[in-house]
Every structure is written in structure tokens, then in C-alpha cells.
Chain A
Amino acid sequence: MEAILAAAANIFEPSTLLVLMIGTVVGLFVGALPGLSSTMGVALCIPITFGMDPANALVLLGAIYTSSVFGGSITAILLRTPGTDASIATTFDGYPMAQRGEGAQAIGMALVASLVGGVFSVFVLLFVAPPLSRLALLFGPQEYVYLTIFGMISILGVSGGNPTKAFISAAFGLLLATVGFDLFTGYPRLTFGQDELFEGVPLLPALIGIFSVSQAISLCTGEADIGAGNMIKTKGRTLPAWSVIRRCGRTLFKSSLIGSAIGILPGAGTSVAAFISYDEARRRSKTPEAFGKGEIEGVAAPEAANNAVTGGSLVPALTLGIPGNAVTAVFIGGLTIHGLVPGPRLFTDHAEIVYTLIFSLFLANLAFAALGLFAAPWVARVVKVPSAVLGPTIIVFSIIGSYALRNSLFDVWLVLGFGVLGYFMERWRIPGAPLVIALVLGPILETNLRRSLQISGGDWMIFFTSPLSYAIMALIVLTLAYPVFARRQKNRREANES
């Protein structure tokens, strides 16, 4: 309790608040620019924290982390160019809204949802971190296999009306995911002698290529003219009306829960949480057909989920020293520099600093919400910039961002290659999202599947042994069966009425 009070006093120091604001602004930029990931934003700022006191350093890193996740949504909505994989799902309904001239409203919803998800996960971190991290350990390799399969099901939800093509896209993504050095045998696979492919197809160039560069090419050729013909409603309110928020209440809550839960599991990933939440919202909606065409609930779901991951992923990181994802892995590096070794004793030995971090995450959520609210109507005007200016600028950003990840020219060509691929996939109506989700989930699926079999000595029965496996299996079956069930019930109700 004393620690909590001391932390509250820490956080309202003027210098801390200043650091918080700086971190929030940097995070928004990092998230919004294609090619700069949350991971990179945090990594680049670690040297800056060398000279700071530990509390401020954590506040800076925490603020960058939370606000970069939101920052990616802004460009995802307005330009259909997600800055990180966390906001791919946001493009599905956010971009159609922006095309209708409701960009500011979509950002407003994203903002509310991010705030709800972020704050929810901070509370999770604050109150139930240690017991939850114990629970996460129960997930063995076989449970991860089921979990990734569950994530894959969400691909069905983004099939864009052509399941065959979505399947092809996903299968291609899974095939690409096998490229590189095989962890279990040491053989390079499908690398065609390219050393740069030894560690697999890097996710970010693929993602930026398929989403950002392909969209930029369409802008350049004049096909996708976002602003044309649309009077941007600058008058419209940014914040969604209370009734809209109420309508999305269930979705917001459920997505926050999903996001926090997935965040806690090491290695599961932010985009997975966003996709599962989006799919869940669509399935439970009274008007599932409106999803993908600019349904505001379709913005709320992934946004609440991806920000809820932030607090969740810090649970195992802080309590066990086991990072939930790449960003928190870097985050741990930043912590240790300040003598805060994550692990079971962090909460007892350095309680004051841990609570300062948690409060700062809370404040960072408020800070990006305030900044976003102020900036949204202005930022939304970016769609008024002529496409022929926007297009090449996005390409330049994508190129330098991809280059900077590994200082590799190979990745520049990779991003351009994926850009052209994404462009043609778009024209041939093959959805790009399944490919990218598969690229994220593929390695998790393969390593855990083979790891399970290594542990069991090749016995496939390992997948039918633990109650937890059965629980996730049941969840998969329920999710798959739900649409059939719902349709039958609807038919029955209609039969009764007539």
C-alpha cells in the first residue's frame, strides 16, 4: 500500500509527466509510420533511458509501447496502411468508414476502444498478475497448437466472401512461414541460397509490402482515390455518441478480456488477439453482413483487444521474467539496465517502481486518448492530400522502415516484392490478411507441434491428454458450430412466427 502511494506521488512529478508526454508522442509516430514497429520504438529509446532514473525510464518505455499500438490504427483507418501487425484487423472496417468520410469517427471509436482495452489490461496487471502468470505456465506446447488453430479459425472470418481464395492465401502464408533455418534439424528450407532468408521471411517487410506498399501502388496509379468524391465531414464529432458506445459495450468488454488473456500467453501475439476479437464480434453481431463494409463495432473489437495485450503481455514479463512477445522482450532489456531484473521478486523488492510503471501505463492510455482526440479531426484530413503525393511518400517510408529493421537492402526488395504481390492479390480478390496471419501463426504452430511430438517421443496421443487441451478444443468446436446453430435457431424462430 505504501508502495502504491509512493508510486502515485512519483507519477505526478513534473519531469515524469513530461517524459510521459514525450513517450506518447514518439509512440504515436512510431506506430503510425509503416515500417517502424512497437518493438523497434522501444528498442531505439532504450539508450536514451540510460541516463534517466529508473521510474522515468519505465514511464518512457511504457508510454511508447501503449501509444504505438494505438498509433498504428490511425493510418490503418485513414490509408489502409497498418503501421504494425496489431492493426491489420482495424483496416477491415476502419478504412471503409474513412472512404465514406467517417475517418474521424472511426479514429474516435478506435480511441475509445483502445482506452477501454488498455485500462482494462492495466487493472489485470495491477490486481491479478502473479496468479495469472502461474496459469499461463500450464500452457504446454500442445495447448499452443490448439491455440494457434483457434487463431487460424479467425481467418475464416476475413475471407472476404471467397473461402477458396482465403484458403489459398492462408496456405501460401503457412508455406512462407516454413522458409528458413529449421530449429529442429538445423537445415535451411526454401531459402534458395539467400542468407537473408535464413531466419525466415521477416514479418514486417511482408506485412508492410502486402498492406502498405500495395495500397501505395494503388494510390500512385490513381485506382484508390481515398478523398475523391468524398466531402470529409470535418464537422462530425470525433467521439462516438454514448449510444454507440453502449451498443459496443459487450464487444469492448469481451475484446479486452480476449486481448488480456492472449497477451499473458508467451508468444501468442497482438495480431492474433485482434483477429480473434474481430471474428468474435462479427459472429455475435445482429448484422454480421455489415462487417467489412464500415461497421463501427468492427473497429471497436480489434482496437480494444490490441491495446489490452499491452498490459497482459507485461504480466509474465514482470512476474516471471518471461516476455509475452517481442516488445516485452526488449522491454525486459530496458528494465534490467536499471537494475530491475524481472522475476518473482520484482513485485516485492521494487514494488514502488513496478506500481509507478503500472500507473504510467494507465496515464499513457489517457494521454494518447487526449492527444488523439485533439488531433483526429486534423489528421483525418490527410486523405485530402492528393493520392499522387501520398502514394510515393508511403513507399519511401515503407522502404526506409524495412531497411532500418536489419540494415539490409535485401529487405527493401522484399518489401517491394510483397507490395507488387499484394497489389495483384487485391486485384484478383485474394484477401491479404489470411497470408499475414498465417505468416505470424505458422512458426508458432509448426514449432509447437513438432516440439510436442519431440517431448512425447513421436506419440500423437500427447494432443489428447490434458484437460486444458480439451477446453480449447471445445472452444474451437463451439466457434465453428455457432453459425450453424444460430442459423437453425433463426429459422425456427421464423417458422414459429409464421
Chain B
Amino acid sequence: MKRDTWVAVAVMAIAAFAAWDVYDLKRGAAFFPLLMSAALFLGGAVLFVASLRRPAPAADAAPEGSDTEEAKSIWVPLLEVVVLTAVFAVAMPWIGFYPATFLYLAVFFALRSELSRLTGLAVAVAMTVLIFVIFSLLLAVPTPVGPLAAYL
């Protein structure tokens, strides 16, 4: 199946799920979400039909190359970025925002940029300091500190 077909199915599933979730609410509260789920479902259905009717390769692959091939080449770096960022978000409340930021940037630069190890570290330090100056010193925004930093 083509990509748009999958997207259309997912969209219709989301719409159906939302409608099911709000269905038993009092009418007034359910009215709008139901209407919007219906609209979303309709949109999904139109896309579904359109994706089936279009000749297979031409439509999806037209301007920017075959999507399936492209997708494979991008899958690994994407996963790397997402996992790294997720680890950052998990670690932040434990080790504090600034240490986490520094580690995230340093690891990221080491893995994914062409910066030399030393430059990467220097840039990571500089960025962390810059963010600290803007958010904590100038704007006094509270950041997660974490139990670890609390000991220091």
C-alpha cells in the first residue's frame, strides 16, 4: 500500500477513537468533539479514496524521489536523534537541566557533527553557559534542578 493510504487509515482510526471516547458525555460537551471527529474521518476517507485512485508510482513519488527508499536512509539518524533527545528529557529532572544540556550537546556533537572532539566540547560548554545566562540570569526562569544537583 502507498504511504497516503496508511496515513488515511491512521487518520480515520484517530477520528473513530476520539468519537468513541467522547460519545457518552453529556450532549453539549460531546457535540463539538463529535463534529470534529466526523470531519476528520471524512478527510481521512477522501484521502483514502484519492490515494487508491491515483496511479501507484506517479503520485507519491513524483517530485522528491521514492519515499520508501528515502525513508530507509533517514530511519537510522532519526532514531538516533529521537532516542538521544528522549534520554535527555528523562535525565533532566534527575541530574538537573544544565548538566543534562551539556551532556546532550556534547554527546550529540560527538556522534552527529563533523566537529572535532575538542571543538565539540567547547561548543557544548559555550552553549550551556549561553543558555544559563539567558534563562537563569536574565530571565530568572526556574529550571529543573534535580536531587543530584541539590546535594552540591
Interface residues of A (CB under 8 A from B): 26, 29-30, 33, 36, 44, 164-165, 167-168, 171-172, 174-175, 177-178, 182, 184-185, 187, 189-190, 192, 217, 220-223, 386, 388-389, 391-393, 395-397, 399-400, 403-404, 407, 409, 412-413, 416, 420, 423, 427-428, 430, 442, 446, 449-450
Contact = CB atoms under 8 A, between A and B. Distances in A.
- The binding surface of chain B is classed by DSSP as helix
A185 B18 contact: no
A168 B44 CA distance: 7
B13 interface: no
A184 B28 contact: yes
Nearest to A213: B85
Interface string B30-64: 11110011011011101100100000000000000
Contact of B32 (A172, A178, A187, A412): A178
Given A388-B109, A403-B144, A407-B142, 12 more contacts: A29-B134, A174-B36, A187-B25, A217-B78, A222-B77, A223-B74, A386-B113, A392-B104, A392-B105, A400-B131, A416-B86, A427-B67
A26 B112 contact: no
A407 B43 CA distance: 36
Contacts of A217: 78, 81-82
Given A178-B36, A386-B115, A185 B127 contact: no
A190 B81 contact: no
Contact of A164 (B46, B97, B135): B46
Contact of A221 (B50, B81, B115): B81
Interface size class of B (residues with CB under 8 A): 35 or more
A194 B101 CA distance: 27
B7 interface: yes
Give the 6 A-B residue pairs with the shortest CB-CB distance, closest first: A388-B113, A168-B43, A171-B40, A221-B77, A175-B36, A171-B39
B25 to A, nearest CB: 6
Given A182-B29, A220-B81, A221-B74, A190 B138 contact: no
A416 B85 contact: yes
B105 A393 contact: yes
